[in-house]
Chain A
Amino acid sequence: MSILGGGIFKGMKVTLWNFVLSYFRRDRLTTNDYSWRPDGDLPQGIGDYPKEEGEQLSDTTTVTNYSRNFPMLLHDGGEPMDTVRCVACQICERECPPQCIYIEKDYDENGKYIKRPAIFDIDVSVCMSCQICVEVCPFDAIVMNSQFELSTPDRFGGLLVRRDDLLKSNDYYHQIHPEEAAARDQKMAAEKAAKEAKKKAAAEKAKAAAEKKAAEAAKGDAE
């Protein structure tokens, strides 16, 4: 025999149970504060996030070390434009699906192309954080940042992030995405070692060929 309203009563029991338990077990909370994550999951304590000059962060950041937001250009420490990895090859500009990147190459006084960008603008109101620029870059120069507090009251150009704001150091990259940065560094070191080994092997081969030629020339002289 079922009472009219018995089903509703059963449902309310569930709600009441949930309400009571939420005081004791945090994973019963339905609010968005990620309370079920053990404390060790966030990079540091909340609010303690590493700050660089010019960066803003709020206290309720829920960014993990896997999230991506908008791109940034990498440099290897020191004066940013001295060690910037980007050579302004414009591959990311071509491959970007919404076409939000604008690059101009840098030329020195004689008009020769030096390998850095003079202008590198990303329109973050257009950028959809798809990560394709990161995938196609052959120099590991552009990676994803996780900073999301970029709002500005300036409608015409406030959301156009220029080259100098995009440049961040490799150490910062290690802080926000440690695993990915470590993997990338390892890959770059392996590629460099392979290139050096190839160069060395080619140099040795050239030396051996030159010695053989000299020996034959000497033999030819002697005869």
Chain B
Amino acid sequence: MSTAAAPNYELLQQDGLETSLLEVSMGPHHPSTHGVFRMDVKLDGETVVDLRPVFGYLHRNHEKLAENMTYLSSMPFTDRLDYFNSMSNNWAYALAAEKLIEVEVPERAEYLRVIMAELTRLVNHVSLVGFFLNDLGALGTPLMYAFREREKILDLFEQASGARMMCNYFRFGGLRNDVPEGWLERAGEVVDRFPSFLDEYEQLLCENEIILSRTQGVGNLPRELAISAGVTGPMLRASGVAYDLRKVDQYGIYDRFKFRVPHTDGDTGDCYDRFMIRMLEMRESIEILKQALAGIPKGEIMGNAPRVFKPKPAEAYGRIEGPKGELGFYLIADGTPKPYRYRVRPPSLINLTVLRDMCLGGKIADTVIILGSIDIVLGEVDR
């Protein structure tokens, strides 16, 4: 179970030689831990014997804050959960709240929602690949290339909503405002240039011997453990399960788009699989974007949601396929303008359940790579 120590663990005993375990705190201030995240690692030489993740350094008790604020006022705070993908977080919350009140979202708003969500997925995957390679030691070059593309998409977000990262763009029943003129053409240009960037990126990275030897065979996650541990998102698909909420739940208008769900063939997944799945998912996102940009109708962008949002007592669980996994919002309404219980199901936290299992027995350098491939953002882990 989760408290078993690493196999083949025997301290070296010899005359005159005193051996003990080294306990290292890969502490909150660490350049490779993707935020304020701490791991207490017990080492025998370089082999990891025990690993305990410690988090809570960024805990802002977002769930309690939301109990004292109206439904709309929590929307800016959802931006700050997983601060790389603010548009996806907004959509998950809007989806959950729209289940409490019967409101129909207009067509154009649905198309724009899909466009924003897929652009967010591109932003997230490209940044993640950049950071992952940064952890591997490619200090800066792939990261900067990735950020160059990300800047173009953030420009698009700024033109649509006013802010680059904390967009606060979605509302219950639609979107806050329509995109300005020429936005769709600009988005089309960005999407058209992305595949050639991805080709170049793959040429840069995917045959690199250092990456191959450092990520293949590292961080094996068997399929049964992945399903039981509630791992979702690209990590799950890298372990062989073709479970994508866009195909299973078909929320929004995802049933109108043709796209594939990349997943591996076998029973386990390692870091290289997760890295490649994300590269493939970026290509599928571009397909969806092309279809959405071609088919978007004109029309309104806001449905008839009541001005004062007072749902009747009910419960709702709305979930989306965020770039990191299944992001779910559980809302309990009690007839007042404020929610009674507001819960965020954070994919990054649940994916961390298997960190210890994957890292035991490996080297400490591999721990950094495995953590990078899980793709955590501390804003979401700690809320």
In their complex, do chains A and B touch, with some C-beta pair under 8 Å?
Answer: yes
Residues of A within 8 A of B (CB): 4-8, 10-11, 13-15, 18, 29-30, 32, 34, 36-37, 64, 66-68, 95-97, 128-132, 135, 144, 179
* Interface residues in B119-165 (C-beta closer than 8 Å to A): 141, 144-145, 147-148, 151-152, 155, 158-160, 162-164
Which of B73, B75, B77, B162 is A67 in contact with, Cβ under 8 Å?
B162
Residue among B72, B73, B162, B166 with the highest chain A CB neighbour number at 10 A: B162
Measured CB to CB, the closest approach of chain B to A181, in angstroms, equals 13
> Given A30-B148, A64-B159, A95-B70, are A130 and B76 neighbors across the interface (CB < 8 Å)?
yes
B186 closest partner in A (C-beta):
A41
* Interface residues in B190-232 (C-beta closer than 8 Å to A): 200, 203-210, 212
Chain B residues within 8 Å of A14, by CB:
200, 203-204
> Given A15-B204, A66-B162, are A30 and B147 neighbors across the interface (CB < 8 Å)?
yes
Interface residue B69 (Cβ < 8 Å from any Cβ of A): yes
What are 18 A-B pairs at a CB distance below 8 A?
A4-B209, A7-B208, A8-B208, A11-B204, A14-B203, A14-B204, A18-B145, A30-B145, A32-B151, A66-B162, A66-B180, A68-B162, A97-B76, A130-B75, A130-B168, A131-B176, A132-B75, A135-B176
B201 closest partner in A (C-beta):
A14
Complex-state Cα separation, A14 to B77, whole angstroms: 41
Residues of B within 8 A of A (CB): 69-70, 72-77, 141, 144-145, 147-148, 151-152, 155, 158-160, 162-164, 166, 168, 176, 180, 200, 203-210, 212
Complex-state Cα separation, A10 to B206, whole angstroms: 10
Residue among B69, B145, B204, B205 with the highest chain A CB neighbour number at 10 A: B204
Chain B residues within 8 Å of A95, by CB:
70, 72-73
> Given A14-B203, A66-B159, A66-B180, are A130 and B147 neighbors across the interface (CB < 8 Å)?
no
Which of A10, A36, A135 is B207 in contact with, Cβ under 8 Å?
A10
Measured CB to CB, the closest approach of chain B to A30, in angstroms, equals 4
Contact present for A7 and B212 (CB under 8 Å): yes
Complex-state Cα separation, A37 to B154, whole angstroms: 13
> Given A67-B162, A128-B166, A179-B180, are A97 and B147 neighbors across the interface (CB < 8 Å)?
no
| Minimum-distance CB pairs A-B, first 5 | A7-B207, A130-B76, A68-B162, A30-B144, A97-B73
Which of B70, B75, B145, B163 is A129 in contact with, Cβ under 8 Å?
B163
Which of A5, A32, A68 is B209 in contact with, Cβ under 8 Å?
A5
Residue among A4, A11, A95, A135 with the highest chain B CB neighbour number at 10 A: A11
Measured CB to CB, the closest approach of chain B to A40, in angstroms, equals 12
Complex-state Cα separation, A5 to B144, whole angstroms: 23
Measured CB to CB, the closest approach of chain A to B83, in angstroms, equals 12
Chain B residues within 8 Å of A13, by CB:
203
Complex-state Cα separation, A129 to B212, whole angstroms: 44
Which of B76, B203, B205 is A128 in contact with, Cβ under 8 Å?
B76
Complex-state Cα separation, A39 to B152, whole angstroms: 16
> Given A36-B152, A66-B162, A68-B162, are A132 and B208 neighbors across the interface (CB < 8 Å)?
no
Which of A11, A29, A36, A97 is B208 in contact with, Cβ under 8 Å?
A11
Complex-state Cα separation, A144 to B166, whole angstroms: 15
Measured CB to CB, the closest approach of chain A to B164, in angstroms, equals 8
Contact present for B200 and A68 (CB under 8 Å): no
Complex-state Cα separation, A37 to B209, whole angstroms: 37
Measured CB to CB, the closest approach of chain A to B59, in angstroms, equals 17
Measured CB to CB, the closest approach of chain A to B209, in angstroms, equals 5
Chain B residues within 8 Å of A18, by CB:
145
Complex-state Cα separation, A29 to B144, whole angstroms: 9
Contact present for A6 and B147 (CB under 8 Å): no
> Given A5-B209, A97-B77, A179-B180, are A131 and B162 neighbors across the interface (CB < 8 Å)?
yes
Complex-state Cα separation, A67 to B200, whole angstroms: 32
> Given A11-B204, A14-B203, A128-B166, are A64 and B158 neighbors across the interface (CB < 8 Å)?
yes
A4-B209, A7-B206, A10-B207 given; 5 more Cβ-contact pairs under 8 Å: A8-B210, A30-B144, A66-B180, A95-B73, A97-B73
> Given A18-B145, A179-B180, are A132 and B72 neighbors across the interface (CB < 8 Å)?
yes
Chain B residues within 8 Å of A30, by CB:
144-145, 147-148
Complex-state Cα separation, A128 to B167, whole angstroms: 11
Complex-state Cα separation, A32 to B155, whole angstroms: 12
B73 closest partner in A (C-beta):
A97
Measured CB to CB, the closest approach of chain B to A145, in angstroms, equals 11
Chain B residues within 8 Å of A32, by CB:
151
Contact present for B158 and A67 (CB under 8 Å): yes
> Given A10-B207, A128-B166, are A97 and B158 neighbors across the interface (CB < 8 Å)?
no
Chain B residues within 8 Å of A130, by CB:
75-76, 166, 168
Complex-state Cα separation, A96 to B73, whole angstroms: 7
> Given A30-B147, A130-B166, A144-B162, are A97 and B69 neighbors across the interface (CB < 8 Å)?
yes
Chain B residues within 8 Å of A7, by CB:
206-209, 212
Measured CB to CB, the closest approach of chain A to B108, in angstroms, equals 17
Measured CB to CB, the closest approach of chain B to A132, in angstroms, equals 7
